[in-house]
Structure 1
Amino acid sequence: MPAIVEDWRAVPDALRGATVALGNFDGVHLGHAAVARAAHGARPDLPLAALTFEPHPREHFRPEDPPFRLTLLPAKAEALGALGVVTVFAARFDAAFAAMSAEAFVEEVLHRGLGARHLACGHDFAFGHRRGGDLAFLAREAEKRGIGLSIVPAVGDEGGPISSTRIRRLLQDGYPERAALELGRDWELRGEVFRGDRLGRELGWPTANILLGRQLEPARGVYAVTVRLADGAVVKGVANVGRRPTLGGDPVTRLEAHLFDWSGDLYGQEIGVRLHGFIRADARFDGLEALKAAIASDATAARRMLEAWSG
């Protein structure tokens, strides 16, 4: 796991002088991976770092938007670490940061704060107050300070450029397997298991329940999943994302995961639920017996799907 530094004004000397990938990195998809590779490839003699922004600028400017994050900071840092990043600078994006001029961003943050020796960014990276800094400006200002710059073209496929926006849409439309191709890994929802009404246990299908919080809500329905437990174990299962319409409806969406061939107490632990395939949409059933039968059918479908996935 990379070191996470949240105050760019107080970077330890040992972490300064890196080659730095720049971006929001929500999801850490294949395009983001290309930026990290470019940063490392340009200066393989330097430690690899990433500068990102927390909260996501969209969360700052449009707080009324529904949650949309693909990766919160811990998951983002973990994914960046898998790309070789050893330090994640998570600059706090608040009103003061939003008001910073493009020149101040280069001078105060990148040069004085991080001591960056080389930068890499995507072709559409913009920065500073009202996104006033473009790539030509960045190249000019970086050169003045002896900082190298790599600009990375978009990574795409037959559907066009890969982007966090496109991945969100795939997940909201119920295509986690397509999202996984663009992320380079299966998408994961994380949360702390809370104590529900234990109805699943009464029905013979005990579940671990988490809330989505600031994470994107994918298509409501049933998924084949694998669940990463706090001890690192990975267990296959079936999960429902929804508001339990058969039980009268919940005010917020929850994820309920049943773990196959596993028993234990997960209350209070953080788990990660990876979505592998969509089985059916969320539905209202005519009573608990009908719901119980549907869950049994879902579990059979999930086992079959996961056998194909792991095979």
Structure 2
Amino acid sequence: MTAEPIRRFGPAASVAPHYRGGVVAIGNFDGIHRGHQAVLEAAKALAAEKRVPALCLTFEPHPRSVFQPDRPVPRLTPPPVKARLLEALGFDAVVEHPFDRAFASLSAEDFVQEILVDCLGATHVVVGFDFQYGARRGGNAQTLHAEGARHGFGVTAIEAFADEGGGPVSSSRIREDLGRGDVAAAAALLGYRWMVEATVIGGQKLGRQLGYPTANMALPENGLLAHGIYAVRFRRPGGDLLDGVASYGRRPTFDNGAALFETYLFDFVGDLYGETCDVSVFARLRGEEKFDGVEALIRQMDKDAAEARAFLSGAAPLSPLDRLIAF
């Protein structure tokens, strides 16, 4: 990790002078998956070599959510989670530049001049091979090379990244895996266990009545994660890691109400209300079920807890990034 917590800036014009003149990785980077990491690691290595800050320039909200507001993109990594991952990768700052129709109308040349040169003073820019920028996607990696030569900054375009089977690594593919509950397949593409971040809220205390008190979180009901039972690792704001088993769904045995992410933490006693915590999802144990009664549900919960304990006790990091955030 960086020596200091990562700095988060909004508009590029708000970037503090200390962070100007760095190496800038540009992209939406939703998910920070292995393909994104190839771009980010290249930028970080160049920044270390040049002894300048490593910055990530990204955009909020996701451009598709601006152009198709009726079809907003389910975010794999909302801005706070993305910043956490970038910090773990060693970045000094992330620029979450506002994306709206006015910004989208900026010409490719003006994007380079106003954002990369005037605001960031970039010494080198790193992008993916298919990077496009400016109004009507008028700029690409090739034009960026020419702009860099004109303005005095270097440009590196990273080739496409494929998984071990030769398939593309993409955010949309990861969303599909999570929607099926295949968190192992999603983790293989991400290079780390996917995680959620939310504030612990009060519930109906049904779990406490069953002998399984839970930390409850309300997640965006966008279909990103399939309902079911999961083995998880829970991180408190201070960094404490706790193993547990989580139920995500509508509690069909009881009220079939609004979806909640409810985590039973092993060997923990305490109050978590109001804490904003991260949960890394390690494995899906089963789908959500409706039981005939409370006793049948408790018997299954006992089995789920034992299976989750066994799985987590044998889990190993998938990568250095996974080790930093989930171990």
| TM-score bucket of the superposed structures, by smaller chain | over 0.9
Once residues 93 and 222 of structure 2 are traced to their aligned partners in structure 1, the CA distance between those partners, rounded to angstroms, is 23
Please tell me whether residue 63 in structure 1 is matched to residue 69 in structure 2: yes
The answer to whether the Cα contact below 8 Å between 1:67 and 1:213 also exists between their aligned partners in 2 is no
CA contact (8 A) 1:191 1:211 kept: yes
Code of the aligned partner of 1:48: A
Q: Pick from 21, 27, 30: which aligns with 1:23?
A: 27
Return the alpha-carbon distance in structure 2 between the equivalents of residues 190 and 299 of structure 1.
22
Distance 1:248 1:40 in 2: 49
Aligned to 1:124: 130
* Cα distance change of structure 1 residues 286 and 64 upon mapping to structure 2, 3 Å threshold: farther
1:215 deviates by 7.5
Pick aligned residue for 1:293 from 296, 299, 312: 299
Counterpart in the other structure of 1:139: 145
Q: Which amino acid aligns with 1:211?
A: A
CA distance in 1, matches of 2:315, 2:222: 25
Aligned partners of 1:260 and 1:238: how far apart in 2? 8
Question: Following superposition of structure 1 onto structure 2, how do residues 98-117 of structure 1 map, counting pairs within 5 Å?
Answer: 98-117=104-123
Structure 1 match to 2:190: 183
With normalisation by structure 2, the TM-score equals: 0.90
Amino acid at match of 2:273: Y
Q: Which stretches in structure 1 are left out of the alignment for 5+ residues?
A: none
Q: Does 1:168 align with 2:172?
A: no
Please say if residues 222 and 238 of structure 1, whose CA atoms lie closer than 8 Å, have aligned partners that are also in contact. yes
* Structure 1 CA distance for aligned equivalents of residues 105 and 280 of structure 2: 37
Deviations 1:65-110 (A, max 9, x none): 3661111111111111222210111101122212222221111111
Structure 1 SS opposite 2:298: helix
Contact map agreement 1:227 1:271 (CA 8 A) in 2: yes
Partner of 1:82: 88
Alignment coverage as a number of residue pairs: 310
The match for 2:257 is 250
* Segments ≥4 residues shifted beyond 6 Å: none
Q: Which residue of 2 aligns with 1:97?
A: 103
Distance 2:221 2:263 in 1: 19
Cα deviation, 1:24-83, whole Å, max 9, x if unaligned, reads 111111111111222233452122111001112122223333661111111111111222
